[in-house]
Amino acid sequence: MAVFDSPVIAAGPAQGPTKAPVSSPASEQSVPVGTDRAQWLAQAATQALLAEVDLTPKPGLVDRRGSGAHCDMNHALMQRSAHALTPGFMAMADAVYAHRPGLASDVSSWSTTAMGVRAALGAVGRQAEAAMMQATAGINTHRGAIWAMGLIVASAAAQPLSRWRAPALLAGVAALAAIDDPALGLIACKQPDAENSPSNGQRMVARFQVAGARREAMNGFVQIVDQGLPQLQASRAAGASETQARLDALLAIMAVLDDTCLLNRAGRYGLTLAQAGARRVLDRGGTAHTAGWAALATLDHDMQAINASPGGSADLLAATLLIDHLQAQATSGHTRDTERRRAGRAGHRLLTIYPAPQAHSWERTDADAIA
């Protein structure tokens, strides 16, 4: 078991946690205009995925300590997978811009005006999944994230910067998710066995009668707007470090999401254990408090003991971080034409948007590895 020392104890109760910067200066956050914005959005989505992977310690999930409950994944693999998705996210945004002239400004009308966008997104999404599989030697690291993050990127690309707020962005997500991918019927006709090979998530939806990825998206990912974002903001306001605020946001999502990854690996028992454990951490003040940190350590132990991983919650945490950053752009400023000439530096600028988690003494030691 990995060492799970509390950063609160290390800092001293009187001092409390140190709050990390949430974002870079406004001058470095400016969003490019025109086609450069597709690259910016793709980099933002990738950096959100990397921020989720780097966040440590996460219960049962791959992080900087190790593989969690995943014997086939590690931190480096997850990073490689995230970077492999950048071209796909950019292609999704480009697809939206190509169809934007015919796209209604009112998202409620997208069911009739966004058919072309949905078809293009489906095709690009399958290409992105293939790129992920190639980068990971066939390991499914981010399939759920491609769906969630891709929809958010597309929704942002379809709307002006001034509308980059969670309600508008997630309304766009819901509208796009409600449109059937026209290519799926053709694929089923050409590959009849495809219908007989549902994904793990689809099997869990049928078995446990839960919403699943598409229904959650059609509902506008309520876990983000009702739990993830409010908890992230509340923990920051209470003085938690950025690492602690993000962990609290993950736990808030875990507490309510019917995570098909958990159901697939540990059944209803595992889901119930994870949800109760996440609520216990938050009820004890969250990860910025000693009691909450101890409860997180217990939850991590429990998840690994039953080989359970809240992968769906991790995907929605990355989506939460992306929306949090997009909202900051709508709040903090306006686009600048000069940013178009600086598009090549987009990746460099974004490195400061999702600061690396603080280093603590919870890294695995040789003694832990032997144990």
| Residue 196 buriedness (CB in 10 A; 0-12 / 13-18 / 19+) | exposed
At 221 the three-state DSSP class reads coil
Gyration radius of the chain over CA positions? 20
Pick from 221, 252, 222: nearest CA to 235: 252
The count of domains in the chain is: 1
> With 80 as the cut, is the pLDDT of residue 346 above it?
no
Asked if residue 114 is part of any domain, the answer here is: yes
Residue located via tokens 């989720």: 52
> With 50 as the cut, is the pLDDT of residue 353 above it?
no
Asked if residue 179 is part of any domain, the answer here is: yes
Asked if residue 80 is part of any domain, the answer here is: yes
- Work out the average pLDDT over 104-125: 85
Q: How far apart are CA 228 and CA 244, in angstroms?
A: 13
C-beta atoms surrounding 81 within 10 Å: 24
Beta strands in the chain (DSSP E): none
pLDDT at 360: 38
Residues 6+ apart with CB under 8 A from 176: 110, 114, 117, 118, 121, 151, 154, 155, 217
Asked if residue 19 is part of any domain, the answer here is: no
C-beta atoms surrounding 218 within 10 Å: 17
Asked if residue 282 is part of any domain, the answer here is: yes
Q: How far apart are CA 58 and CA 69, in angstroms?
A: 11
What is the reported pTM? 0.82
Structural domain span for residue 98: 26-197+210-334+344-354
For 150-191, write each residue's pLDDT tens digit.
999 999 999 999 999 999 999 999 999 999 998 875 544 445
For 291-341, write each residue's pLDDT tens digit.
999 999 999 999 999 999 999 999 999 999 999 999 999 987 544 434 444
Asked if residue 99 is part of any domain, the answer here is: yes
For 271-296, write each residue's pLDDT tens digit.
999 999 999 999 999 999 999 999 99
Of 98 and 366, the one with more pLDDT: 98
pLDDT at 333: 56
Residues 6+ apart with CB under 8 A from 299: 59, 274, 277, 278, 280, 281
Q: How far apart are CA 70 and CA 67, in angstroms?
A: 5
Asked if residue 266 is part of any domain, the answer here is: yes
Of 185 and 88, the one with more pLDDT: 88
SS3 content of the chain, % helix, strand, coil (to 5): 70, 0, 30
Asked if residue 186 is part of any domain, the answer here is: yes
pLDDT at 15: 35
